Structure 1
Amino acid sequence: MKPFIVVPDGFDKSLFEELKKNSNLEVHPTSKVSQDELKTLLPKVNGLIIRSATTVNAELLELAPNLKIVIRAGEGTDNIDKTLCAAKGVKVANTPGANNNSAAEQAVALMMSCLRNTPFANKTMHEGKWEKNALTGLELWKKKVGIVGFGRIGQIVAKRISGFEPEVLFFDPVMEKSDLANTRKVTDLKEIFSTCDIVTIHTPLLPQTKGMVTGELLNLMKKDAILINAARGGIVDEEALYTLLKDKKIRCAGFDVFATEPLPADSKLIELDNLIMSPHVGASTEEAQFRVGEMAVHQINEFFVNNNLLNEVKGK
């Protein structure tokens, strides 16, 4: 009997057709199914390729006794209970690096939007206003930028903004140094938050990073400072962030990720006029979606056809 594969969260059409052509696999005919429909398919599913819409938790795993592997088409796997998967013998893998550039560029886009008030300028123009005097911005050139988490994405951000000649400080327990000019490691987050003009978050969501950016750290920031988070929700204390922005203690923040997603309609963050928000679209470029899909197709084929597990992610 052929392994049964379901791709519930959407997929590049050409890659999905390529996956279906594999004569060794049975692939569900559509590349996007509702969560209710997915529940009806789970009893016979052997392989899942998911993005962020599907959560692999106890309820899903209970309905999928024949599941062998979950591939996250992306890097973050916080929507997968990896410990429970391991206990049930379900392998977990991701597609590391495929969306790094897109996530880094989203952080830079939010950075520039905060500096130059671009979303607000656009909004007022569409309202028929000419608010030139109210929209004086700041330059990125020669600013001091703090990067919290200097892995692949953090390093790409540093490279992308290098033409603006910033001084870059980075905090990372693993990375010891950088080959980029004007870039140095610091060992105390307080130095980054108290001295940098821009702080951008690029850590995964792990037990040790959840809530890492506390109200104490946020209140160290300079009045004209900017905070960017295009990494994961839950890293920044959103209650403290709300108070900080409401009281105009920093200039602006740009967030692509939130502790609860989708952002609740009654979230206090919606009230803020100095918070630029986007709905977790850091990896949502055509190029990135193709790359993550390409990797996932290759990995599901390798696992079921060649008994080869690539990019395994284990529980922590």
Structure 2
Amino acid sequence: MDRLTAMQAYVRVVEAGTFTKAADSLGLPKATVTRLIQTLETHLRTKLLNRTTRRVTVTPDGAAYYERATRLLSDLEELEGSMNQARVTPRGRIRIDVPGVVGREMIIPHLPDFYAKYPDIQIELGVSDRTVDLISDNIDCVIRGGELTDQSLVARRIAEFRFITCATPEYLRRHGTPAHPRELGEAPHRMVGYFSARSGKVLPDVFRRGEEAVEIVGNHVLAVNDASAYLNAGLAHLGLVQLTCFMAAPLIRSGGLVRVLEDWDAEPVPVYVVYPPNRHLSSKLRVFVDWVVELIGREAMGGLKLRCTTA
């Protein structure tokens, strides 16, 4: 038995929750993974996993073995990295997941600069607003906006997105320019709604002016759950939208959008890079995270002329 391969397979099964997902992430047949685990259990003379038709769970011995195995594999990866060129020239595959607008508007346009420095890193970039399971989906890290609820994950706050309220000139011609956020809750004004993919509820829009705060679910004829669709709905004159400064700035400069309610600040959103617990931060992942932290911090300040700084 290749004990190292068996150990890696076992760790992946525990993290993925099923033999099928573990086999897919390892690039091995499911039968091979099953055989590795069975051989490992025979070698250790103990049962590591309880198997059902839908999911596997760890036994007490399996939990103890998983904890030690992840530590050993992490130490091994770090040792190998220190003994070869990976520290000088990081190489290999990393799996990243980011919100749609961050991937399309920030990361992808600047990836040629990243590859000019690190040509041997292969990135698998998930770009969507859906919530992924870092452990079972075998994701190295994700970029997330908003306060985090899963306290088991390791998070690093990297930026803050500032938002402004905008509408197209055509919308303002048809409906007029609002003077106060409360006008957005009733006709003739309307907002483009944004609903949570998790709860299905339309999220409220929050406005602040000094100590005064207004929270409303705007009058809307359309609600979406994707940032690009939200922007496109605003550009189609379907309502006012609250956009990040980096999205709004070029459209305001070109005349496609007009900023309204300038005395009112929309609620800022913190941005985090998030890692699974017990996941070793390899050199290839470290250089990507350092690059993306600097990039997002710089791009988030892209609306300086719109008074969207975090200062």
What TM-score, normalized to structure 2? 0.31
What TM-score, normalized to structure 1? 0.31
Larger % of strand: which? 2
